[in-house]
Amino acid sequence: MPPAARPLRKLGFLTIGLFDEADPGPGHASTLELIELGERLGFDSAWVRHRHLQYGVSSPVAVLAAASQRTRRIELGTAVIPLGWENPLRLAEDLATVDVLSGGRLNPGVSVGPPTHYDQVKDALHPDSAEAEDFGYGRLERLLDAVRGKPVTDFSGREGFEFFSDRVQPHSPGLGGRLWYGGGSLRSAGWAGEHGMNLLTSSVVKAEEKDGPWDFARIQRDLIRAFRDSHPDGAAARVSQGLVVVPTDSATPGQRARYEAYAAARLPRTASPQGPGRLLFAPDLVGTSEEIAARLHADPAFREVDEVAFALPFTFGHEDYVQILTDTATRLGPALGWRPAG
């Protein structure tokens, strides 16, 4: 087995935070309990996926505000907030507030582009400006400037008994260096690097070449290198890889069967680019920690990074996630050279 290019320094996990429409409380409680468990197991970070008009966390900033008061050490991230749904100035206020509440542990991940099913939601989301909205990088630049403390108005000072700031308040100085871009294309990776962001690369990339065969790991490796080539920090620029990883060391036979069936059902989409966006998906990694570690050590993209945020599968139960997280922290992480925090 070829050695990893660098030891695994940070281990995180990502959850979608599923809930029952008729009773959403238990699902949100489960998400918070998993984040607490992650801290006890020594994970370095916990990330919440963002879902609008679905049965997953729609307000990760609010969920992470709650998590910040139930944890003390673990870093808290969003992977990712689609900015087409947001007002950058208002989002900057929310992010800075949660960062202050957490003691500087927030890692906001964002992306650009039109909201999913925009034609169906635009009248509710942007009723007065639907056709004029800019869903490109300009929207992200507004967020970066606001979070990093640039003025957002030409007015400041005292007015009567009140005082006004020309920049977003609260201002959290370290937050600007903990902004991540969730990118799957060479263009987005290059833009994120040029603007001094960190890069989240997941189990989805864009197949930019017309003809196959397509090699997911090679495409992801090239994306990571393009990001670092354009980043002021070069090879030291932060990249986190987020594959779907399911260790089965302590799983019951029933759990193993369900995990393997889940991965098998999703495997056909990995053979070729999907949809008009030409999205290429990575296979889910299911097996013992030893088997998964061998596959990761041979993965050219994994060999480029020293931090990961492995994604939990979408449709399993709380007890399944407890088993997966426990095996990841106690068996898979050490097999990758990682040591638990704390």
**What's the CATH code of the domain at 86?**
3.20.20.30
Q: What pLDDT is attached to residue 342?
A: 75
In a domain, 155, yes or no: no
Does residue 110 lie in a domain region? yes
Domain assignment present for residue 164? The answer is no
Please check whether residue 44 lies inside any domain of the structure: yes
Is the pLDDT at 252 greater than 70? The verdict is yes
pTM over 0.75: yes
Comparing C-alpha atoms, which of 315, 312, 251 is closest to residue 287? Answer: 251
- Using CA atoms, how far residue 213 sits from 205, 209, 270, 272, 273, in Å, is 15, 10, 11, 8, 10
Q: How confident is the model at residue 5 (pLDDT cuts 50, 70, 90)?
A: low
**In-domain check, residue 109:** yes
Domain assignment of residue 37, given as a range: 10-144+174-335
Chain segment 49-95, per-residue pLDDT in tens: 999 999 999 999 999 999 999 999 999 999 999 999 999 999 999 99
Rounded Cα gap, residues 110 and 81, in angstroms: 4
Query: Which residue do the tokens 């932060």 mark?
Result: 238
- 3 confidence band (pLDDT: 50, 70, 90): very low
User: Structure tokens of 287?
Assistant: 């097996």
State the average pLDDT over residues 191-205: 98
Which has the closest alpha carbon to 35: 81, 79, 74?
74
Query: Domain for residue 150, yes or no?
Result: no
The lowest-confidence range among 3-7, 128-132, 181-185, 196-200 is: 3-7
Is residue 119, in this structure, part of any structural domain at all? yes
Asked, for residue 156, whether it belongs to a domain, the answer is no
Domain count, the chain: 1
